[in-house]
Structure formats: structure tokens, C-alpha cells
Amino acid sequence: MVARGKGILAADESSGTIKKRFDAINVESTEDNRRDYRETLFRTREAMENSISGVILFDETIRQKAKDGTPLVKLIQDAGSIPGIKVDKGAKDLAGAPGEKVTEGLDGLRERLAEYYELGARFAKWRAVIDIAGNDIPSGYCIATNVHALARYAALCQEANIVPIVEPEVLMDGDHDIDRCYDVTEYTLKSLFDELYAQDVALEGTILKPNMVISGKKCPTQASTAEIAEKTVKCFRETVPAALPGIVFLSGGQSDEEATANLNAMNAGHADELPWALSFSYGRALQAAPQKAWAGKAENEPAAQAAFAHRAKMNSLATLGEWSSDLEKAG
């Protein structure tokens, strides 16, 4: 999952989220359209073979067949990539905590994991959402309940021989500065690793999917790439044990190029001294360009594949610290 030069494609948008993405390109979110779009991505051999180690799928997609009848899971495996599955059931209102969420999906998870393993999944994802865009949030209660659920999920995955990706996302929404994001991310990660330890989760078989330490989207002073890279790496050094093999970032609403530049700066500055691989597990920052190019039309599939291959290559270079903005123009 964190092989050199590779990262993860997050293509596990829930039905509601993929509808939002398709609305933006004027495409109706039908089962066939979702299949055609995702099939187009998974058939992009250049990206899949060279830059994508694994693909996170939604429940519908792991069961779907390509137009020619080949299971989509097989397309991923044939390209040398690993199928994964989102198993959480979404972030719901946290009781007694206005504005905060807790992720659900633990009931029946053992049985669902066994089925997903049979369907080909070898890793899973669970996303917890920590909103910090308010004066009194996040509460300790919100973080404690979310990391407890993340650890319960991770232990169940390992029992099922599935690698858990643990994703505690501190949102970029709001006008907070980068230091506020640092403090909450640090507290969240410390709490998460305490809970993983308490629940006997093997860190050697766990991947972390965090936010970068970054300014809120509405913050009047936006931190530079260099500051984001420095503070993110510092925060992880303080909180993430060396036994963990890899950290794969979410893009979280950064622009395509920002997500790439920030990852590149972390790897260019530090890669040799860090105990874990630093790579990507991007949804929007890998798919915004191919979605726009595709726009729901079969004749645009080659253009969508070229756009996906380009973003995958740029992010692959960023995992090696070898990306530069000139390469964007060349693509």
C-alpha cells in the first residue's frame, strides 16, 4: 500500500457524495454512469500500474461488473493494485454535542468484513470527522468517541486479515490558523494512538490517513507550502509511532496542485529521515480533473484517462520529492 512511488486512489464516494460530484459536471448519478466513470479510471493502465498501489471502493462498486462483464475488482487486481473498501456508515450527529459528529458502522462489522474479504478487499477505510470551525469545538467527548470507534474498527479488520486505514480528519473548514489545526491534530493523533494501543491493534499492520496541518479555508493568512510541510512533519514526529509503515494523506478540499505541492515539500525536505512513508490517498485531488474531462460522455474517456494519469504521475513524483510546478505545464 505504501510501495515506493505509489499511493492510493480514494474512489469510495458514498451515493450522496458521488451525486454531488456528478451534479457539478451535469451528469445524472445512475448506477451505470457510476460504473462507467469508475471503470474508466480503473482501466487507466499507466496510472494504475505505475502510481496507484490500492483503490478504496464503495459497497456498490466492489460488487459491480465492467461493461464486458469483468468484475471491477479484477480490473484493479490485473493492474497490480489492491482493492480496498470503505466500511464506515458515515458521520452522524453526536448526541448532546451540537455541531459535532461521530462515525457509525460498528454493528455487524465483523460479518461485513468477512464478506468483503471474499469479494477481494485486502484493506479497509473508516473516516472520523473532527470539525473545528466553532468556538467550543472540538470537545474531548467528540475526539474520545471517534478514536474509540476507530480502534474498534481497526481491531476487527486485523482479526479479518484486512489492513485498516484509520482516518481521523480534522476539517479545513473555518477561519482558524495553521497553529490551531496543529494543536487539534496533535491532540487527536495522541488520543488515537493511545486507543489503538489500549485495544491491542498492531501498528505494523495499520495505515494512517490524516489531514495535513494547514490553515482553515477562510483564514485570512494562508500558510505557505514550506510551513505546511514543516508543521505537518513536526506534528507527526510528536505523535505517530515509528512502527507504523505509512501515512497517506487525504486532500480535504485543497486544490489539485496544492495537494501535490504540499506532499512534495514534505518528501523533498525529510524523506530520508522519516520512519514512515509519506504518500497520498486522494479523492478529489486525483479525480476533479478526470471528472471534468469525462463529463459523462463515452467519447471523452481517453481525455479523462489522460487527466487521471497526469495527476497520478504528479502525486507519484511528490512521494519521491521529485515534483515541480513546471511538470504541470508540460502535462
204 is catalytic: no
Residue 36 three-state SS: helix
Helix (H, G, I), strand (E, B) or coil at 128: strand
Q: Which residues 99-138 are close enough to bind ligand 13P by CB under 6 A?
A: 127
Which one of 283, 293, 311, 316 is in contact with ligand 13P (CB under 6 A)?
A: 283
Minimum distance, C-beta of residue 279 to ligand 13P, in the bound complex (Å): 13
Q: Which is nearer to ligand 13P, 7 or 68 (CB)?
A: 7
Task: Give me the half-sphere count of Cα atoms (radius 13 Å) on the Cβ side of residue 138.
Answer: 29
* C-alpha to C-alpha distance for 287 and 41, rounded to whole angstroms: 9
Smallest distance, Å, CB 96 to ligand 13P?
25
Q: How far is the CB of 284 from ligand 13P (least distance, A)?
A: 3
Lookup: cell for 173: 473548514
Q: Which of 89, 44, 37 is nearest to 64 (CA)?
A: 37
* Chosen residue from 38, 176, 284, 310 binding ligand 13P by CB under 6 A: 284
Q: Position 137: which residue type?
A: I
State the catalytic residue, choosing from 13, 39, 100, 167.
167
Give me the torsion for CA of 79, 308, 23, 38, rounded to 10°: -10
Quick check: is 167 catalytic? yes
Q: Pick the catalytic residue from 209, 231, 301, 313.
A: 209
List the x/- string, 56-95, binding to ligand 13P by CB under 6 A.
Answer: ----------------------------------------
Q: Which positions from 17 through 46 interact with ligand 13P, judged by CB under 6 A? A: none
Q: Does 252 bind ligand 13P (CB under 6 A)?
A: yes
Cβ–Cβ under 8 Å, residues 205 and 163? yes
Compute the distance between CA of residue 278 and CA of residue 274 in angstroms, rounded to an integer: 9
Q: Select the span of 90-98, 106-114, 135-143, 283-291 touching ligand 13P (CB under 6 A).
A: 283-291
Quick one: 260 or 267, whose CB is closer to ligand 13P? 260
Our CB check for ligand 13P shows the closer of 44 and 251 to be 251
Write each residue from 285 to 304 as x if it is in contact with ligand 13P (CB under 6 A), else as -, in one continuous string: x-------------------
Least distance to ligand 13P, CB of residue 56, Å: 6
Q: Which of 100, 131, 167, 195 is close enough to bind ligand 13P by CB under 6 A?
A: 167
How far apart are the C-alpha atoms of 265 and 225, rounded to whole Å?
7
Whether the Cβ atoms of residue 326 and residue 314 lie closer than 8 Å to each other: no
Q: Which of residues 2-21 bind ligand 13P (CB under 6 A)?
A: 10
Piece of 150-158, 173-181, 234-242, 276-284 that binds ligand 13P (CB under 6 A): 276-284
Q: Give Cα 222 to chain centroid, integer Å.
A: 23
What's the rounded Cα separation, in Å, for the pair 43 and 81? 12
Q: Residue 25 or residue 70: which is nearer to ligand 13P going by CB?
A: 25
- Residue in 48, 82, 178, 250 binding ligand 13P, rule: CB under 6 A: 250
Give the pairing of strands 101-103 and 91-93.
Answer: antiparallel
User: Counting beta carbons within 10 angstroms of the beta carbon of residue 4, is it exposed (0 to 12), middle (13 to 18) or buried (19 or more)?
Assistant: exposed
Q: What is the 3-state secondary structure (H, E, C) of 42-104?
A: HCCHHHHHHCEEEEEECHHHHCCECCCCCEHHHHHHHCCCEEEEECCCCEEECCCCCCCEEEC
Name which of 191 and 315 has its Cβ closer to ligand 13P.
315
Residues in touch with ligand 13P (CB under 6 A): 10, 127, 167, 250-252, 282-285
Residues recognised as catalytic: 167, 209
